[in-house]
Amino acid sequence: MIGTTISHYKIIEKLGEGGRSVVYKAVDMRLERTVALKVLSEKLHKNQKARLRFLREAQAVAQLDHPNICTVYETDQAEGLIFIVMACVEGQSLTRKLEIGPLEVNEVVDISLQTAHGLLAAHKNHIIHRDIKDGNIMINTEGVVKILDFGLAKLLTKEDITRPRAVLGTVPFMSPEQAVGKPVDIRTDIWSLGVVMYRMLTGVHPFKGRNVSEMIKSILDDQPARIGGFRSDMPEPLEACIQKMLSKGRQMRHENMGEVIKDLQRVKPS
């Protein structure tokens, strides 16, 4: 694909590949700008459900205009391919950033606040992300968080087109209700952000497992070790905030992302 042209987009680099799509860096030759092209994988192209889910991502994100959400420009079909055209974020993923180890508390609070603001905007538009993880959080060269990949997004006001009890998402970041295929709401994103915050502060996952079934059992049954046991500079209000976000029962979590933001704004690193 490198060097080829799809519609008026010239492919210049492969950025990544997932189970449903391949993402390329490309040049929009009409507008002379660099974009990211998310192309539905060939093996799923003939799968109607996969096409619906892929196009639903574009439908969901196209409704959102927020500085902490990666902009979607358009969805198109050309050369027998279906693709989404997005802003190309220059920077690094949170996953890459965590390769060097846990982050400073101030930085964790900043990244968490920006992510929470982006998710709050999505929730106000009746959209749940359902796959929040460090790999879907980019930090651009100016330090601005961009949330990626609304590929599992659920439009709350419309009938869910995924099959009943479908387990969709990335297992280590799944809420208990998501892990067992129960209906989800905005508090699933609150849980997943709590897992990301735990990882940023400790460098490890709060739940353990050698395989999927063990990981799900840990999510359902285990209480995470206190973050204060990993680092001496952990502010108690931040510890309490994350513990609340990771409550097994969603009714015990923050009611909405606005409440998470208020808790984070009260954190004073020691």
Annotated active-site positions, please?
131
CB 178, CB 170: distance < 8 Å: no
Which of the 8 DSSP states describes residue 102? P
Chain centre distance of CA 35: 19
- Quick one: DSSP state of residue 66? -
* Helices 236-245 + 257-265 axis angle, to 10: 170
Are 134 and 148 in contact by the 8 Å Cβ rule? The answer is no
- In contact, 157 and 212? CB cutoff 8 Å: no
d(CA 152, CA 241): 26
| Class of residue 251 by CB neighbours under 10 A (exposed 0-12, middle 13-18, buried 19+) | exposed
Place of tokens 């500079």: 233
Going by C-alpha positions, the residue among 25, 94, 81 that lies closest to residue 54 is: 81
Q: Which helix (H) or strand (E) holds 60?
A: helix 48-62
